[in-house]
Structure 1
Amino acid sequence: DAVTKFYTNEYANVHRGLHTLSNLATERYEAARGTVQRFLKAGSEEEIIFNSGTTEAINMVAYGWAAPRMAAGDEIVLTVAEHHANIVPWHFLRERQGVKLVWVEIEPDGSIDPERVLAAITPRTKLVAVTHCSNVLGSVVDVKRITEGAHAKGVPVLVDGSQGAVHGPVDVVDLGADFYPITGHKLYGPSGSGAIYVKKDRQAEMRPFLGGGDMIEEVTRDMVSYAAPPMKFEAGTPGIAQTIGFAVALEYLMDLGMDNVAAHEARLVSYARERFKSLNWLNVQGDAPGKAAIFSMTIEGGGHAHDMSTILDQKGIAVRAGHHCAHPLMQALGV
């Protein structure tokens, strides 16, 4: 409704006009920044940068923060449980700059041991990039322990919050994350919406990822000076309607209470876990304590996932069939 209302009655560009519609659009767009700040419990609105979602956000960190300060042989610590959005940008740095990717395996129950992550840090480690919650297994990672240990060694931590922010309350300051991206469409918002929390001292170290209008202070034939963050990292006309819709979705979730969401999901997980145990032809992958409401499974006896998806679809049940965007995890699971 908020997106339709904006396109129908209120559409204008932001930060550029003095007329009524432009002022209204700018007001709503910037109010959305405050909404994201409250949802993530960030220290200030200036630490919230809008984008199209977690994929763009992590690429922004890869090119704007990591690439300028990494040389051949420097290391990034990852886990095999990462989504491709938190793998492929680092492979780009491996291919182009000789950066080394150091992989941490999952435990037998599908969990990530934070001590194994910290043990992988060496004097060449420049970044730890770890998911808050596996998009395949639902395993919730103790990222606070990881950030505490990594910071003690002088290493920043990017926490992929795309799933973590969906299943329970998030406090990025308490977690200690240096970077924490979230995606709108996973939070009941429009596709193409998202944001990343970037701690102020990391913003000061980060170059703009994209260049264009709105992120500059002045442009001449000989130089360019940049606007202050977060505008410095938001080039061009943004997804205004998407961002406004994203904020409305977050307001809805905050009204529900993310603690209530987590408690409800815990009951669903308990129920589903018991029901799945009664199906001897189903193998559930990973069952870490405190997991979020995500289950992945394989079928005994050679049944194909696409056939099962079709049967369930006929009963009004939607499932994801085939490989997730997490091939290293699929390989680790042997599926």
Structure 2
Amino acid sequence: MTSLTIPAGMPQYDDVPRFDVARVRADFPILDREVNGYPLVYLDSANTSHKPRQVLDVLAEHYAAHNANVSRSVHTLGTEATEAFEGARAKVAAFVNAPSVDEVVFTKNSTEAINIVAYAFSNASLRADADPRFRLGPGDEIVISEMEHHSNIVPWQLLAERTGATLRWFPLTEQGRLDESGLTELVTERTKIVSLVHVSNILGTVNATSRITQRVREVGALLLLDCSQSVPHMPIDVVDLDADFIVFTGHKMCAPTGIGVLWGRGELLAAMPPVYGGGSMIETVTMARTTFAAPPARFEAGTPPIAEAVALGAAVDYLTGVGMRAIQWHEKELTAYALDALATVPGLRVFGPTVPVGRGGTISFALGDVHPHDVGQVLDSLGVQVRVGHHCAKPVCSRFGVPAMTRASFYLYTTTAEIDALVVGLEQARKVFE
């Protein structure tokens, strides 16, 4: 399939960039395989994306020809590895329009990136001379939302327990959007940090953060955005977002697992105490005391995920070549198509926004009273891969009164034919369990 039929009611823009989906799919070897005798229909990209040959080749070539540790050797291989590693950092910085390459910290994933910020608060709170923006204690508050992935809930719960601060949150509306009606009462002069998901991994909701950002600035708090589901799918500019930190992960954007990114404003990273201690993050070490390197090295103790970072740089090149605006529009059309198609399945309930406005290509749903695990097994028997469960977002499931959801999620290689296969599979599942 090389193009999409734009559903009725969707705006028709001549200047929207396009790409050939069939040519893109040819770059992903795994899409050629079969599952249970059927062509693979992969609708689980919010969980992890597939990797194009261009990324797999860079990963293999790095290990085959340039494998060495970084930042500690003067030999040729060490120099090549360091140049490739730091080159990847520069690519990532440009990809999100970071003002400085030194604002990009390589991490294991988004979860680790959020924990680095949370533990920096914790460590700063133990020191009287720490930057007051990072010191927390009783009476201070942390604000998140009911929409968060567990990785943006648990670290802040633990931080609140360690420091005596109070954790508060934005509730969800019935339509699956943030309820900002109590914004001024929730984000106050007691708030030290607001940490929110940019695009929900379970509801697909795209959070417009401008009002929240304005309030955060008014009260002098800090803002972290979990961009795990936005950086892979749309153009992201950290200057325009006006956040203090963003986090994202490589394996959701065509890169390997084991590599993620913490971007932070340079002056904030410079004020943050380290979280991990060890090699490469030091300035000097004596038996009595240690002084620490400037960011980003301060937060990258030990041997980093070198080849994974280099491959992330290749993934950035690949996505840039396809075009992030084109990917965003492709998924917008897919989402509109999918919402219309799913509406034809009797008894199916979509959670979150039911219109393709302010939502991404992740759709969670319930099929009547059929348990999501049963739905997933029927779909898998037909080669259709979806995710089932609470999606590391149990509070969202509780908010909508279900133990679990079935989730289909799209990416640049997804086609309408695959959405049609999903609908056919759901019809079969409904007949099996009716």
Would you say same fold, with TM above 0.5?
yes
Distance change (3 Å), C-alpha of 1:312 and 1:321: same
For 1:274, give the aligned amino acid. D
What residue in structure 1 maps to residue 328 of structure 2? 262
Structure 2 counterpart of 1:23: 79
Map 1:255-334; keep pairs closer than 5 Å: 255-287=321-353, 289-300=357-368, 302-334=369-401
What displacement does 1:115 show? Answer: 5.4
Structure 2 regions of 5+ residues with no counterpart? 1-56, 125-134, 403-434
Deviation at 1:94, TM superposition (A): 2.1
Residue 91 of structure 2 corresponds to: 35
Residue 73 of structure 1: aligned partner: 139
- Of the candidates 295, 300, 306, which is equivalent to residue 234 of structure 1? 300
Find the counterpart in structure 1 of residue 425 from structure 2: none
1:66 to partner: Cα distance: 5.3
Any idea what SS the aligned residue of 1:167 has? Answer: coil
SS at match of 1:204: helix
The 10-residue stretch of structure 1 (255-264 or 63-72) with the greater mean CA deviation from structure 2: 63-72
Post-superposition Cα deviations, 1:91-120, rounded to whole Å, max 9, x if no partner, equal: 111222222111111122111245544541
Which residue number corresponds to residue 49 of structure 1?
A: 105
> How far apart, CA to CA, are the structure 2 residues paired with 1:165 and 1:98?
33
CA distance in 2, matches of 1:253, 1:259: 10
Q: Which of 124, 128, 133 is the aligned partner of 2:199?
A: 133
Aligned to 1:60: 116
Question: 1:149, CA displacement in angstroms?
Answer: 2.1
> In 2, are the aligned partners of 1:67 and 1:93 still within 8 Å (CA)?
no
Shift of 1:232: 1.1
* Distance in 2 (alpha carbons) for counterparts of 1:172 and 1:133: 15
Tell me the residue number matched to 1:108: 174
Report the CA distance between 1:74 and its aligned residue.
Answer: 1.2
Instruction: Return the alpha-carbon distance in structure 2 between the equivalents of residues 170 and 110 of structure 1.
Output: 23
Structure 1 residues 251 and 9 mapped into 2: Cα distance closer, same or farther (>3 Å)? Answer: same
Equivalent-residue separation in structure 2 for 1:161 and 1:3 (angstroms): 24
Is the contact made by 2:122 and 2:163 (CA closer than 8 Å) also made in structure 1? no
Q: Does the residue aligned with 2:239 lie in a helix, a strand or coil?
A: helix
1:116-145 alpha-carbon deviations (Å, 9 max, x no partner): 445411221111010100000010011233
**Partner-residue secondary structure (3-state), 2:308:** helix
Tell whether the 8 Å contact from 1:114 to 1:142 is kept in structure 2 after alignment.
Answer: no
Which is greater in Rg?
A: 2
User: CA 1:116/1:263 → structure 2, altered by over 3 Å: closer, same or farther?
Assistant: farther
The CA distance in 2 between the partners of 1:118 and 1:299, in whole Å, is 38
Specify the SS of the correspondent of 2:162. helix
Q: Distance in 2 between matches of 1:196 and 1:329?
A: 25
Identity %: 42
Q: What is the Cα deviation at residue 210 of structure 1?
A: 0.3
* Cα distance, 1:323 vs structure 2: 1.2
Structure 2 match to 1:164: 230
Question: Number of aligned pairs?
Answer: 334
**For each residue in 1:221-245, what CA deviation from the matched residue of structure 2 results, as whole angstroms up to 9, or x when unmatched?**
1121111111111100000011111
Cα distance in 1 for residues equivalent to 2:389 and 2:225: 26
| Structure 1 unpaired stretches of 5+ | none
Spell out the pairing of 1:95-244 with structure 2 (5 A cutoff): 95-114=161-180, 116-244=182-310
Aligned equivalent of 2:67, options 11, 16, 28:
11
Conserved 8 A contact 2:96-2:236: yes
1: distance between equivalents of 2:123 and 2:330?
A: 41
**In structure 1, distance between residues paired with 2:142 and 2:189:** 11
Cα offset for 1:262?
0.7
1:59 CA drift (Å): 0.4
Distance 1:116 1:2, change over 3 A: farther
Provide the aligned C-alpha RMSD in A: 1.3
Task: Tell me the secondary structure at the aligned position of residue 174 of structure 1.
Answer: helix
Q: Residue 216 of structure 1: CA displacement?
A: 0.8
Instruction: Give me the whole-angstrom Cα distance separating, in 1, the residues matched to 2:84 and 2:183.
Output: 41
> Retained in 2: the 8 A contact 1:80–1:106?
yes
Aligned to 1:181, the other structure's residue is in SS state strand
